[in-house]
């Protein structure tokens, strides 16, 4: 019963070397054991001692030897070989662990990746090529498997950096009773079909691009702010040099809407408003015609009466004081314009739109 209770691990490395291991201290309680094997079949077997022991704290816990055939028999005995603890016979071909893929190549076309490697010399039909990949946004590896010795997958994002690794797998249960795979090939890093040293380079590039974009944006905003300040400062001399000309159409809104273009009627209605407005802005230095005449009487007619500058034929009822005030409010004119019996003095800074 003890012969069946011992658990061993059997690995045939690419059908080149055999490795048999067992739990020495748990199974044999600090007693050392010996190991022997044979690839011979039939009655005349030649048992060979273990050429290389694997140790666990100075106790024999395994044996490593060359693979010499498809059928293997092993025996574990006490240290002097007088008592057998365990024996087993099996097909060594069912415990093969393949080697790593050789000469791995990566071919990119748009978003499609094709990975291939050299074909092994033996048992190609029992092998599969496995590709695993992930980006920094993936928590787990994505896997694709195909018959030896090429595997293809698509849908890769050219903006992402991918970590890639490949290995060989042995078909189960067609060729193996244990699901053995080779060790992983060295991990490589790819982005948009370009081989990188690591995906950290992608992070550095992204950070550099972000810093560049932010710097350019801040520079543009700063330039716009400076231009806005300069524009505000330049508006002041522009207003002084080229003042805006007021639009006179709003002054005559009442003439067109309320009086249907009757200028005389509009003038009668708005005359007292204009006079009141002008009186509010009368300068104290202005001397009215009435005052001037009064002074002329005192000074024995030293100076002649002032000439009325702005007179209308329909406003004789206005007092002399009002006419004099209007005369003070009107600037000196160089040109007299006549319209419908009215005489208007104009200078270079005045215009009339009807």
276-279, Cβ contacts within 8 angstroms, sequence gap of 24 or more: 278/325, 278/326, 278/329, 279/325, 279/329
What CATH number should be reported for the domain whose range is 8-97? 2.60.40.10
Of 39-48, 100-109, 322-331, least confident by mean pLDDT is: 322-331
The pLDDT value given to residue 273: 56
- pLDDT tens sequence across 195-225: 999 998 554 444 556 677 888 888 888 888 8
Mean pLDDT of the chain: 77
Q: In this structure, are residues 146 and 173 in contact, taking their beta carbons and an 8 Å threshold?
A: no
Which pLDDT does position 333 carry in this prediction? 45
Could you tell me the pLDDT band of residue 337, with boundaries at 50, 70 and 90? low
Residues 6+ apart with CB under 8 A from 88: 8, 73, 74
Residue 85, pLDDT > 60, answer: yes
Alpha-carbon distance values, 295 to 190, 282, 307, 320, 326 (Å): 106, 20, 15, 15, 19
Tokens in use for 188? Answer: 């490589």
First to last CA, the chain: 129
Q: What is the per-residue pLDDT for 224?
A: 87
CB of 129 within 8 A of CB of 166?
yes
Identify which has the larger pLDDT, 272 or 110.
110
**What is the CB-side half-sphere exposure of residue 148 using CA atoms within 13 A?**
22
| Lowest-pLDDT range of 72-86, 165-179, 290-304, 335-349 | 290-304
pLDDT reading at 276 higher than 70: no
The pLDDT confidence band at residue 41, using thresholds 50, 70 and 90, is confident
Give the pLDDT score at 328: 45
CA 229 to each of CA 220, 236, 238, 287: distance values in angstroms, whole numbers, following the listed order = 14, 12, 15, 47
Residue 74: C-alpha distances to residues 24, 38, 42, 304 (Å): 16, 7, 15, 150
Q: Greater confidence, 286 or 167?
A: 167
pTM exceeds 0.85: no
pLDDT at 100: 94
**113 Cβ contact list (under 8 Å, min separation 6):** 106, 107, 131, 152, 153, 154, 156, 164, 190
Q: Which residue has the higher pLDDT, 325 or 165?
A: 165
Which of 2.60.40.10, 3.30.70.1450, 1.20.1250.20, 3.40.50.1820 would CATH assign to domain 105-196? 2.60.40.10
Confidence tier at 243 by pLDDT (50, 70, 90):
low
**8-97 and 105-196: same fold?**
yes
Give me the residue spans of the domains in the chain. 8-97, 105-196
Ramachandran assignment for 338, one of left (phi > 0), alpha (psi -120 to 50 degrees), beta (any other): beta
């Amino acid at each position: 019963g003890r012969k069946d209770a011992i658990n061993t691990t059997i690995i045939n490395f690419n059908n080149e070397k055999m490795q048999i291991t067992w739990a020495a201290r748990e199974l044999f309680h600090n007693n050392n054991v010996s190991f022997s094997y044979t690839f011979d079949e039939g009655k005349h077997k030649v048992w060979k001692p273990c050429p290389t022991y694997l140790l666990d704290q100075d106790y024999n816990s395994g044996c490593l030897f060359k693979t010499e055939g498809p059928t293997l028999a092993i025996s574990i005995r006490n240290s002097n070989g007088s008592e057998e603890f365990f024996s087993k016979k099996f097909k060594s071909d069912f415990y093969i662990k393949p080697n790593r893929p050789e000469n791995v190549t990566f071919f990119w076309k748009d978003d499609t990746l094709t990975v291939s490697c050299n074909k092994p010399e033996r048992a190609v039909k029992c092998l599969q090529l496995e590709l695993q990949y992930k980006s920094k946004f993936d928590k787990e590896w994505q896997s694709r498997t195909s018959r030896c010795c090429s595997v293809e997958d698509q849908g890769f994002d050219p903006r992402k950096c991918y970590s890639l690794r490949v290995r060989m797998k042995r078909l189960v249960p067609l060729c193996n009773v244990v699901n053995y795979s080779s060790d992983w090939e060295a991990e490589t890093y790819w982005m948009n079909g370009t081989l990188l040293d690591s995906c950290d380079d992608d992070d550095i590039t992204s950070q550099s691009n972000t810093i560049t974009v932010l710097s350019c944006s801040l520079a543009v905003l700063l330039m716009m702010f400076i231009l806005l300040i300069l524009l505000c400062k330049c508006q002041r001399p522009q207003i002084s040099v080229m003042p805006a000309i007021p639009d006179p159409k709003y002054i005559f809104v009442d003439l067109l809407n309320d009086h249907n273009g009757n200028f005389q009627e509009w003038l009668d209605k708005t005359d007292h408003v204009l006079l009141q407005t002008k009186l509010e802005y009368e300068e104290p230095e202005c001397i009215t015609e009435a005052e001037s005449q009064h002074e002329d009487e005192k000074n024995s007619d030293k100076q002649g009466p002032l000439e009325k500058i702005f007179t209308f034929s329909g406003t004789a009822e206005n007092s002399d004081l009002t006419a004099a005030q209007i005369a003070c409010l009107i600037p000196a004119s160089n040109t007299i314009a006549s319209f419908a019996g009215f005489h208007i003095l104009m200078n270079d800074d005045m215009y009339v739109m009807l």
